[in-house]
């Protein structure tokens, strides 16, 4: 398009003299000015940057539509006099072909006065709304837009463009009606409706309803938008997209207004004429935030409207500025700043969710379970940061498609490759380097994403004041590759592979390495535009090797591996808009090689011990239904039936009737053949949840969950050790069963800028696996002789206040909780702590987390965390005594005391590279200080007898500020 | 507002990590919780000796004195109903006095205690396992990482190798007693008791021998070995950080063969002592011995009545050559105004004096050490009488 063309279309507008390309440059500059101008008007246009974008779109829009609207000229007779505003609107909408758009809440109740019979709609509205500071605007399609106090930008500052283009004469257009309308439309893109016809009349003959289905994708990279909502305004009904961005909606045939929105995209509104079943693919523009790059998700609406509770969602982007140890971006570690998530100590590997031990969580990388998520003894997590898109933590209300863990699901979603263009990003932190590349195979259809990370130094170990660790070596790496292939619009293939590796050598001549591998192939099929079928095959393997030369006489090597082979099928059925049903099953075949304990060399006298293998099949069939009884009240229910079989070949010991399971009580040995069922367990899982919305800003939710777990971790250390292994339940060790009741209040206030939630829970676990005092799990052929099963009782209340958006954003949460374990039996050897209840190792009654981000500008932001928690329970000495001249410490009852309280402040500064639009790559620096005050938080307190005296010591992991500088880069500019 | 690229690009090249020690001494508030519990410490072996059972109460962690339990009736019974009564030779120390009573391999023994409060405690019958001979005991000069300082530790690492055991699996426990010869930093040259009494060679209290129990627990079982034999198993490590290796050092190693239960007791104690302060500590717990109140089994009784087959060996090592010693030999010396000083400590007479800077053509300077340990080795806990077993 050339300049003259513009002039011809509209010679009154100065902007038309500008080339489109030029507009883009202005856009950036203008944004800065707009920031200043709009500071006072943010109430109406939530983000200045968005306003800019709309303006720019608006400019383009003006060029193409020069028709005058007609609605303003509609005559309004006296018969409309004295109607309430709502009646007035309803009647007009009914009688005339016009449609009003306004926020119901924003218009006060008033009565419409009509002065004379010859009034036009425009005059009437101006007379009635003007004094209320409400404006009206009209478009050519008969739409009327009502906004409160919305200052319409009728022109740019008169001399604004002079500086940029001296050649173009400045023409200041006089204020005109047409301009006002066009500008209004321009500045309110979300009100611009586009009519879309779905289906054909022919196909729809004789049917009352039709189904529209399709994908919602992001316009810039063609990736599916998960959880986008589609809302039919007239029917006040809607749906949301699934993990593939797919939706399906059955409606009455006819015209509907469809609003498509998602958290980080611009809202789109469509006038849809539904003639028959058909397809609608929606492309959403990314919402560009100027001041809210740090998006702390958990969709604003979800907080109130979804039935989901005990649910946390973090996007990788939202946590990128949160300070972490060594500047290593670690979204899973950020989970520790969420309510109800604890760890035993700083840098410890396990996560304790709502009072449960660490092995009651499962970590999924897409569909691949990761059995050991720790790198470097637990300081970091084994997920390539560049590959993670977001993660969701389910703490109480776990969807029925997930089974097998009592406490929580950490559902980590890998990034899907960009479907439009090649892109690359990476980072260099003090200990690792990482790189991620992505791009399309076939544009808009198939893409790849490959990310790798590896250490290049293990100097962090030198920082830890423990000579064993200082003199150790460590290496770790991880990689993720994600492929998304669209076979055709109804069939998608998703392939993910995952790998992580750790190699650690300790000064004490111990070397161990472990790795996770996994692959999943998923087929997503859309049936009939309405239903979905997902079929996934998953393979995961965790393997561990240890070489120990501490004692030459008994130098050994030991291995272990766990194979997880799974098939999952899930049907999502949408009989109508009030119901969404998921049915499916999954079946896991576990193959465990408990390993060989072998002499490491010829000198070693170690006896070769084969610890045996284990096989088990865990199958679950489930149905999950969400039923919207009314827009305010909805319930969701899930039922899952678990069947678990422990299979041969195996040698099983039988113990004397009524006797404790101890080696001396073995009365018989039974051998089972291959695939013979040794023991099977089955049990129902329930998932019930209900939500009631009191006001658009307040809802209450309640849920009940019952679950079973058939695999557990062999661990009797306080913190999870990297050498801990998994074990299947068998004929002696019973499956764990957990129940959780939760109740919550959810509220948004301060115009949705603040989100508040309070959730209380009570949890009970039966058959919790604990270990006898002094149990040795390394070379134990008969694990059941060291296992005791007891009960866990946990309860708590979590308060969370979040400010998800704005220059200043973040959250604060406080949790009060309790978690107690009781292991009792008929003989002293079957009890722990003499059969008395004791607090769990991770029981920290008071926990407070504060996360704050402040964005000074698009380039400079600061973040800080403040963490407080009660010290974990600990067993302290109460007396000393002597045996054979050696001083011995006598200890209190288990966990009778507490460590000193934990307190930490972190701080980070994030500095983005320049904001040039055209640049080859964009870099950013992150400077972070972990433990700013250098407080020596106790990891443990222990006692030693030295020269006849008992001395106490406090071990701190990071007893000083840990300062780090990380550089991240990517192709392209700041935005993409 | 102007945005100039690169203005905000601050290149921080210095990465400082300020590190302080992450392990520090710490004493938590333990309240005044203290459990007074009966502690039994007894051992009988197959060796022809007098066996001792010590009875005491557990003591508070700090500042508590060991309370002996006196006036008990202590009996050892074997599985053939023979009973021997032990007599209390020192408060809380009960010994067998009949030389005819000797532990026999394969026989079982039981300890019974009647307290003056009329409580009865019993151990149950404990089998005396056949002793396994100590084949060799040797020491090797080795360096080890130093948890407290920058330099490596140097010292002798003692190793044992045993004969093959009769049983398929043998459970070992090593009890060790160390004796070392050491010298005081300076020789006594005068004894002052109002007048200077010169001292002639050999100077008294210059060389002492100190004997103590090695307060470390060493156990091992051959459960996971192909043969019921051990070789080159490291036991005690003695460093050059103290005077222990400064002249000559001797270690008496008693190798005890235990029942599985007794082994588990000691093994758990060993693990509990060693397993604290790592990243992956286990829960400490109250390790139960084999004694219990026959009326009230719930009552906690600490300690073990150990019955074991025993073999012992003594080894001597000389001062290692070409190694650095790290113990301090500094002594404060008073030389100025010596007489006035000596008279001001009249209540301490007689005091020992030494001579500094002797030789090199001068008579030296008479000096009073500020701490008698500088000249009197007995002050460091040793005895100036050479033990009978000592080999020069």
| 3-state SS assignment for residue A238 | strand
CA proximity to A236, closest of A577, A627, A576: A577
Torsions phi, psi for A684 (to 5 deg): -85, 140
Q: Which residues contact A902 (CB under 8 A, 6 or more apart)?
A: A346, A844, A867, A868, A869, A870, A871, A937, A938
| Same structural domain, B310 and B162 | yes
Same domain for B170 and B260, yes or no, is yes
Strand partners, B291: none
**B294 domain-assigned:** yes
Report the distance separating Cα A230 and Cα A268, nearest Å. 10
Q: Does A721 touch chain B (CB under 8 A)?
A: yes
B134, B312 in Cβ contact below 8 A? yes
Query: Contact A703/A396 with Cβ under 8 angstroms?
Result: yes
Residues in contact with A863: Cβ distance below 8 Å, sequence separation at least 6, in sequence order: A294, A321, A322, A323, A810, A851, A852, A853, A854, A907, A908, A910
Bridge partner residues of A205 (DSSP): none
Q: How many Å lie between the alpha carbon of A821 and the closest alpha carbon of chain B?
A: 14
Please tell me whether residues B262 and B148 are part of one structural domain: yes
* Helices marked H in A822-903: none
In angstroms, rounded to a whole number, what is the distance separating the alpha carbons of residues A321 and A299?
20
Domain-embedded: residue B19 = no
Q: For the CA atoms of chain B, what is the radius of gyration? A: 28
Instruction: Supply the angle between the helices A177-187 and A48-64 in degrees, to the nearest 10.
Output: 130
| Contact of A798 with A756, CB cutoff 8 Å | no
Neighbouring residues of B14: CB distance < 8 A, sequence distance ≥ 6: none
B161 in a structural domain: yes
Q: What is the DSSP letter of A41?
A: G
Same structural domain, B187 and B280: yes
Of B1, B225, B280, the CB nearest to A721: B280
Of A35, A348, A954, the CB nearest to B24: A954
Let me know if residue B266 belongs to a domain.
yes
- Reported as type and span, the H/E element at residue A964 is strand A962-971
B364 inside domain: no
State pLDDT tens for residues A304-315.
777 788 888 888
Residue burial B177-213, b: 16+ Cβ < 10 Å; e: rest? bbbbbbebbbbbbbbbeeeeeebeeebbbbbbbbeee
Shared-domain flag, residues B66 and B187: no
Residue B360 lies in a domain: no
- Residue A917: the pLDDT is 78
- Give the model's pLDDT for residue B233: 92
Q: What are φ and ψ of residue A335, in 5° steps? A: -55, -25
Residue of A599, A882, A953 with shortest CB distance to B24: A953
Nearest CA of chain B to the CA of A722: how many Å?
Answer: 9
Nearest-5° angle of CA A859, CA A861, CA A867?
A: 160
In this structure, what DSSP letter does residue A3 have? H
- Half-sphere exposure of residue B271: CA atoms within 13 angstroms, side-chain side: 20
Interaxial angle between packed helices A48-64 and A20-38, expressed in degrees from 0 to 180 and rounded to the nearest 10: 140
Are B287 and B176 found together in one domain?
A: yes
Burial class (CB in 10 A: 0-12, 13-18, 19+), A765: buried
Our count of domains for chain B comes to 2
Q: Do B148 and B228 fall within a single domain?
A: yes
Whether residues B191 and B227 share a domain: the answer is: yes
Report pLDDT for A177.
Answer: 45
Q: Which residue has the tokens 């982007």?
A: A317
Q: How many helices (H) and strands (E) does chain A have?
A: 11, 60
For residue B350, is it within any domain? no
Give residue for tokens 């003259």: A4
What's the ipTM? 0.88
Q: How many CA atoms lie within 13 A of A695 on its CB side?
A: 7
Q: What percent of the residues of chain A are helix, what percent strand, and what percent coil, each to the nearest 5?
A: 15, 50, 35
Provide the H-helix boundaries in A586-651: none
| CATH value of A300-652+665-971 in 3.40.50.620, 2.40.170.20, 3.40.640.10, 1.10.10.350 | 2.40.170.20
User: How would you classify the pairing of strands A361-365 and A677-695?
Assistant: unpaired
Out of A554, A895, A959, name the one closest to residue B20 (CB). A959
Q: Which two tokens stand for residue A950?
A: 């008992």
Residues in B closer than 8 angstroms to A936, CB to CB, are 20, 22, 24
- What SS3 state is found at A130? helix
In chain A, residues with a C-beta closer than 8 Å to the C-beta of B18 are 934, 960-961, 963
Contact present, B152 and B326 (Cβ < 8 Å): no
Q: How many contacts does A have with B, using Cβ atoms within 8 A?
A: 245
Segment (H or E) for A28: helix A20-38
Q: Which of B100, B127, B154 is the last residue of a domain?
A: B127
Neighbours of B150 (CB within 10 A): 5
The Cα–Cα gap between A136 and A144 comes to 7
Element (H, E) at A807: none
Selection from A122, A113, A117, A112 nearest residue A74 by Cα: A122
Q: Which of residues 256-315 of B touch A (CB under 8 A)?
A: 264, 268-269, 271-273, 276-288, 302-304, 306
Do A774 and B10 make contact, defined as CB atoms within 8 angstroms? no
Q: Where are the domains of chain A?
A: 3-189, 194-284, 300-652+665-971
Residues 332-391 of B with CB under 8 A from A: none
> Are the beta carbons of B267 and B282 closer than 8 angstroms?
no
| Domain final residue, candidates B266, B284, B318 | B318
Domain with B155, as residue range(s), is: 134-318
Within 10 A of A241 (CB to CB), how many other CB atoms are there?
A: 23
Query: Does some domain include residue B272?
Result: yes
Sign for the CA dihedral angle at A390, A396, A398, A404 comes to positive
The residue assigned the tokens 């994908």 is A215
Residue numbers in chain B where pLDDT is lower than 50: 1-21
**In chain B, which among 34-93 make CB contacts under 8 A with chain A?**
34-37, 39, 41, 43, 54, 56, 58-62, 64, 66
Restricting to A residues 889-908, those with a Cβ less than 8 Å away from any Cβ of B are 889-892, 894-895, 897, 899-900
pLDDT at A39: 38
Whether residue B175 is found in the same domain as residue B310:
yes
For residues B50 and B114, state if they share a domain.
yes
| Cβ–Cβ below 8 Å for B283 and A718 | yes
CB contact B215 to A (< 8 Å): yes
For chain B, report the end-to-end CA distance as a whole number of angstroms. 90
C-alpha dist (Å) from residue B313 to A39, A638, B178: 89, 72, 12
Based on the domain organization, do B86 and B172 belong to the same domain?
no
At a CB cut-off of 8 Å and minimum separation 6, what does A302 contact? Answer: A308, A311
**Of B108, B127, B146, which residue is a domain's last?**
B127
CA B56 to chain centre: 19
pLDDT digits (tens, 9 = 90+) for B318-377: 999 888 888 877 788 888 888 888 888 888 888 888 888 777 667 778 888 888 888 899
Would you call A961 exposed, middle or buried from its count of C-beta atoms within 10 A (0-12, 13-18, 19+)?
buried
Same domain, B155 and B265: yes
- The CATH code of the domain that includes B74 is 2.60.40
Q: How crowded is the C-beta side of B61, counted as CA atoms within 13 Å?
A: 21
Take residue A95 and report the two structure tokens written for it.
């009688």
Q: Residues of chain A whose pLDDT is less than 70?
A: 1-71, 103-108, 140-141, 148-194, 263-264, 286-302, 457-470, 975-976
CATH T-level topology, domain A194-284: Immunoglobulin-like (2.60.40)
d(CA A703, CA A638): 11
User: Taking CA A413 as the corner, what is the angle to CA A228 and CA A306, rounded to the nearest 5 degrees?
Assistant: 40
A356-to-A348, A353, A407, A817, A826 alpha-carbon distances in Å: 15, 6, 6, 11, 25
Residue B65 per-residue DSSP state: P
């Amino acid at each position: 398009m050339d300049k003259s063309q513009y002039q011809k279309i509209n010679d009154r507008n100065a902007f038309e003299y500008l080339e489109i390309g030029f507009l883009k440059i202005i856009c950036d500059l203008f944004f800065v000015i707009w920031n200043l101008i709009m500071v006072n008007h943010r109430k109406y246009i939530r983000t200045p940057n968005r306003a800019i974008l709309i303006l720019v779109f608006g400019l383009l829009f003006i060029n193409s539509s020069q028709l005058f609207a007609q609605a303003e000229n509609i005559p309004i007779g006296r018969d409309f006099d004295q109607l309430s505003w709502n009646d007035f609107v309803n009647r007009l909408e009914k009688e005339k072909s016009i449609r009003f758009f306004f926020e119901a809440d924003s218009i006060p109740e008033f009565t419409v006065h009509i002065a004379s019979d010859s009034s036009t709609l425009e005059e009437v509205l101006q007379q009635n709304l003007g004094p209320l500071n409400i404006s009206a605007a009209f478009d050519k399609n008969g739409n009327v837009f009502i906004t409160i106090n919305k200052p319409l930008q009728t022109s740019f500052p008169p001399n604004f463009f002079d500086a940029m283009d001296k050649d173009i004469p400045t023409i200041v257009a006089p204020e005109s009606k047409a301009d006002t309308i066009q500008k209004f439309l321009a500045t309110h893109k979300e009100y611009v409706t586009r009519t879309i016809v779905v289906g054909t009349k022919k196909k729809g003959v004789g049917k009352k309803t039709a189904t529209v289905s399709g994908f919602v994708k992001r316009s810039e990279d063609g990736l599916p938008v998960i959880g986008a909502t589609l809302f039919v305004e007239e029917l006040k009904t809607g749906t949301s997209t699934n993990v593939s961005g797919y939706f399906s909606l059955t409606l009455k045939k006819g015209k509907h207004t469809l609003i498509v929105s998602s958290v980080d995209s611009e809202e789109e509104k469509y006038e849809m004429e539904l003639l028959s079943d058909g397809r609608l693919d929606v492309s959403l523009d990314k919402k560009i935030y100027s001041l809210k790059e740090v998006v702390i998700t958990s969709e604003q609406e979800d907080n109130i409207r979804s039935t989901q509770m005990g649910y946390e969602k973090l996007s990788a982007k939202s946590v990128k500025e949160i300070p972490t140890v060594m500047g290593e971006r670690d979204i899973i570690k950020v989970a520790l700043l969420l309510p109800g998530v604890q760890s035993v100590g700083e840098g410890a590997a396990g996560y304790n969710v709502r009072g449960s031990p660490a092995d009651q969580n499962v970590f999924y990388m897409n569909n691949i379970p990761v059995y050991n998520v720790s790198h470097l003894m637990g300081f970091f997590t084994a997920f390539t940061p560049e590959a993670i898109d977001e993660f969701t933590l389910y703490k109480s209300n776990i969807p029925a498609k997930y089974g097998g863990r009592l406490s929580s699901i950490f559902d980590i979603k890998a990034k899907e490759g960009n479907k439009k263009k090649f892109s690359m990003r990476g980072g260099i932190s003090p200990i690792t380097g990482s790189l991620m590349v992505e791009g399309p195979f076939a544009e808009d259809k198939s893409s790849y994403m490959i990310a790798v990370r590896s250490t290049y130094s293990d100097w962090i170990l030198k920082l830890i004041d423990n000579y064993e660790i200082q003199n150790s070596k460590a290496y770790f790496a991880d990689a993720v590759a994600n492929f998304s292939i669209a076979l055709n619009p109804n069939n998608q293939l998703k392939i993910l592979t995952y790998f992580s590796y750790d190699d650690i050598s300790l000064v004490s001549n111990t070397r161990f390495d472990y790795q996770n591998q996994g692959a999943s192939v998923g087929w997503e099929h859309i049936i009939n535009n309405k239903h979905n079928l997902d079929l996934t095959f998953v393979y995961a393997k965790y393997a561990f090797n240890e070489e120990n030369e501490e004692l030459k006489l008994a130098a050994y090597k030991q291995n272990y591996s766990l194979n997880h082979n799974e098939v999952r099928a899930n049907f999502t059925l949408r009989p109508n808009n009030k119901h969404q049903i998921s049915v499916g099953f999954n079946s896991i075949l576990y193959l465990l090689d408990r390993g060989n304990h072998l002499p490491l060399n010829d000198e070693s006298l170690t006896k070769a011990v084969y610890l045996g293998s284990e096989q088990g099949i865990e199958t679950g069939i489930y149905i999950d239904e969400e039923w919207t009884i009314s827009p305010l009240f909805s319930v969701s229910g899930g039922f899952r039936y678990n069947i678990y079989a422990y299979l041969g070949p195996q040698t099983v010991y039988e113990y004397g009737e009524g006797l404790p399971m101890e080696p001396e009580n073995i009365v018989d040995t039974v051998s089972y053949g291959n695939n013979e069922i040794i023991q099977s367990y089955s049990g129902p899982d329930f998932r019930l949840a209900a939500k009631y919305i009191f006001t658009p800003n307040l809802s209450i939710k309640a849920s009940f969950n019952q679950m079973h777990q058939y695999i557990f971790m062999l661990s009797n250390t306080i913190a999870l050790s990297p050498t801990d292994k998994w074990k299947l339940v068998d004929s002696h060790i019973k499956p764990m069963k957990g129940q959780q009741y939760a109740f919550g209040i959810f509220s948004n206030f301060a115009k949705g800028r603040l989100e508040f939630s309070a959730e209380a829970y009570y949890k009970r676990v039966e058959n919790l696996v604990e270990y006898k005092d002094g149990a040795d799990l390394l070379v134990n052929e008969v694990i059941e002789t060291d296992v005791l099963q007891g009960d866990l009782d946990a309860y708590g209340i979590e308060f969370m206040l979040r400010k998800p958006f704005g220059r200043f954003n973040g959250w604060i949460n406080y949790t009060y909780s309790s978690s107690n374990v009781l292991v009792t039996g008929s003989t002293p050897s079957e009890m722990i702590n003499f059969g008395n209840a004791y607090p769990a190792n991770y029981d920290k009654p008071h926990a407070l987390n504060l996360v704050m981000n402040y964005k000074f500008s698009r380039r400079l932001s600061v973040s800080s965390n403040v963490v407080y928690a009660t010290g974990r329970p600990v067993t302290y000495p109460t007396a000393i005594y002597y045996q054979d001249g050696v001083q011995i410490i006598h200890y209190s009852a288990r966990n009778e005391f507490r460590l000193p309280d934990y307190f930490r402040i972190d701080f980070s500064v994030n500095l983005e590279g320049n904001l040039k639009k055209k640049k080859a790559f964009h870099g950013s620096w992150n400077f972070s200080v972990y433990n700013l005050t250098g407080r020596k938080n106790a990891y443990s307190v222990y006692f030693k007898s030295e020269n006849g005296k008992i001395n106490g010591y406090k071990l701190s992991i990071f007893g000083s500020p840990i300062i780090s500088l990380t550089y991240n880069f990517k192709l392209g500019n700041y935005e993409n | 507002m102007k945005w100039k690229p690169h203005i905000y690009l601050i290149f921080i090249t210095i990465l400082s990590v300020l590190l302080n020690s992450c392990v520090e001494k710490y004493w938590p508030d333990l309240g005044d919780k203290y459990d007074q519990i009966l502690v039994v410490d007894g051992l009988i072996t197959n060796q022809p000796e007098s066996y001792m059972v010590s009875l005491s109460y557990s003591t508070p962690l700090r500042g508590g004195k060991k309370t002996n339990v006196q006036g008990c009736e202590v009996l050892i019974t074997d599985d053939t109903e023979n009973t021997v009564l032990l007599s209390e030779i020192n408060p809380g120390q009960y010994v067998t006095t009949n030389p005819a009573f000797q532990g026999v391999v394969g026989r079982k023994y039981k300890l019974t205690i009647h307290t003056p409060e009329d409580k009865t405690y019993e151990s149950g019958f404990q089998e005396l396992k056949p002793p396994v001979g100590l084949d060799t005991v040797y020491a090797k000069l080795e360096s080890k990482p130093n948890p407290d300082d920058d330099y490596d530790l140097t010292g002798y690492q003692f190793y044992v190798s045993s004969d093959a055991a009769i049983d398929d699996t043998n459970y070992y426990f090593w009890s060790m007693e160390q004796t070392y010869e050491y010298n005081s930093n300076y020789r006594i040259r005068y004894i002052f008791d109002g007048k200077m009494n010169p001292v002639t060679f050999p100077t008294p209290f210059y060389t002492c021998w100190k004997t103590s129990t090695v307060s470390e627990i060493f156990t091992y079982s051959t459960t996971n070995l192909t043969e019921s034999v051990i070789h080159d198993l490291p036991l005690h490590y003695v460093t050059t950080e103290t005077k222990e290796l400064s002249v000559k050092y001797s270690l008496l190693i008693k190798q005890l063969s235990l029942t599985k239960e007794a082994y588990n007791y000691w093994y758990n104690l060993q693990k509990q002592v060693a397993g604290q302060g790592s990243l992956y500590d286990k829960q400490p717990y109250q390790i139960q011995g084999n004694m219990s109140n026959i009326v009230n089994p719930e009552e906690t009784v600490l300690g073990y009545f150990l019955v074991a087959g025993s073999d012992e060996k003594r080894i001597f090592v000389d001062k290692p050559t070409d190694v650095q010693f790290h113990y301090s030999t500094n002594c404060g010396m008073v030389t100025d105004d010596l007489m006035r000083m000596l008279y001001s400590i009249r209540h301490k007479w007689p005091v020992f004096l030494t001579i500094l800077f002797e030789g090199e053509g001068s008579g030296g300077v008479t000096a009073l050490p500020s701490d008698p340990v500088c000249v009197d080795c007995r002050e460091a806990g040793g005895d100036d009488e050479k033990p009978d077993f000592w080999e020069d």
